[in-house]
Amino acid sequence: MEQIFTDISKTGPKIQFNTGNIVNGSEEFNKVLPDVDGTLDTDWNLTMWGTPPSGIFDPAVPTINDIDYRSPMLGIPRYTWATNVYDQNNYPVTSRFSVYGQKGDYTYEISNTGGHLHDIQLQTFDASWKNKIYTFDKPIIFNVSERLTAKGTNFGISYQVSNSITANFNSPKSPYYNSQLPSFGIFIQIPLFDSRGEQSIYTTVYPNHNGGIYNPSSLSYRSIKGSSKLLQDSDISVPPLYLSEETEQLHNIQINFNAALWRAIQQIVRGIDTNTTQNYLNLKNWSLGMYYGEIEASTSGTANLSEDISHPTFYMTHLKTLIQRSLPQSKLLMMEIISTKIILIQ
């Protein structure tokens, strides 16, 4: 079993913060690093979108031991970045990133209020930056401990929390790269919370597939299973994380992103000729991109929603290979799919 990204709860909060700007088509990051303990973790970053420029964090100036954000379970945060501004419609937009715990065992809390598509994301850089390609023909399993808390009940249009990844098809860096095939990335979102209640499976597919959004799960605790016997035990739905009291423990979540990707591929191959379909069905052609632990607030909400994240880890196992077979679309198969589960840590 191979760990893909570092465990940021062990390495610490010295990570890059974004500036809120896009330069030459890429996200821009602040050259100034946080004045915190530890060495730079180059796998992770803190990203904000939909925030007025004055609301973007200055990484150089965290507040130390801010008792205003004391948690009955987590204690006093070692470091906190917080801003409180107003958008162009005079709605409050608050953002916060707090680091609890101690060296080797940090818990991160992202928190926001209001704004329009106001996102705070504790995320990784693309896995290909590690000079190695992690393809989905081997199981890729994600484990994390998370908890949601809220102050207030006015969520406006919506607040959403999810664990998400990007998956890259035919990456130019891949040893399986084929210049005759297109290269594109898709966004796979596994929801944990939606203030509107039940969130159904949905897909947004663009003509060239690039940037398509696939939500292969739903907030209800029900399985999404295939018709074939080999898929009967597959389950990529995640039970919803209901809002917790501040005294409650974090919950352990495990997600099989191979199963989530497979659901997305089934959407992509609809209506495509057989020859092209087989390329999409070959999981060696798909590789892991970025991970996002995120909160997104839509318009006019005044409630404050917080997500605690601890020990997010990705593992690839080399013991068994995922197998695809060339069969009619109604009988697409994938083997060795592991169920997603949620366990309360005692």
**CATH number, domain with residue 249:** 2.60.120
pLDDT-derived band at 276, boundaries 50, 70, 90: confident
Residues 6+ apart with CB under 8 A from 307: 109, 110, 111, 146, 147, 148, 161, 293, 295
Of 125, 134, 129, residue with least CA distance to 287 = 134
Strands 184-194 and 212-215: parallel
Residues 6+ apart with CB under 8 A from 25: none
Write out pLDDT tens, residues 146-204: 999 999 888 887 888 999 999 999 999 999 999 999 898 988 888 888 887 755 555 55
Longest dimension (CA), the chain: 61
Q: How many domains does the chain have?
A: 1
Write out pLDDT tens, residues 213-231: 667 655 443 233 332 232 2
Task: Give the DSSP H/E element, type plus range, for residue 266.
Answer: helix 257-268
> Residue 34 is part of which domain span?
2-344
Of 69, 82, 156, residue with least CA distance to 117 = 156
In the sheet where 26-29 sits, what is the strand order? 26-29, 16-23, 44-49, 118-124, 286-297, 159-169, 184-194, 212-215, 202-204
172 by Cβ neighbours in 10 Å (0-12 / 13-18 / 19+) ranks as: exposed
Write out pLDDT tens, residues 4-27: 999 999 999 999 999 999 999 899
27 by Cβ neighbours in 10 Å (0-12 / 13-18 / 19+) ranks as: middle
Residues 6+ apart with CB under 8 A from 339: 233, 234, 235, 256
pTM for the full predicted model? 0.86
In whole angstroms, give the CA distance from residue 78 to residue 197. Answer: 34
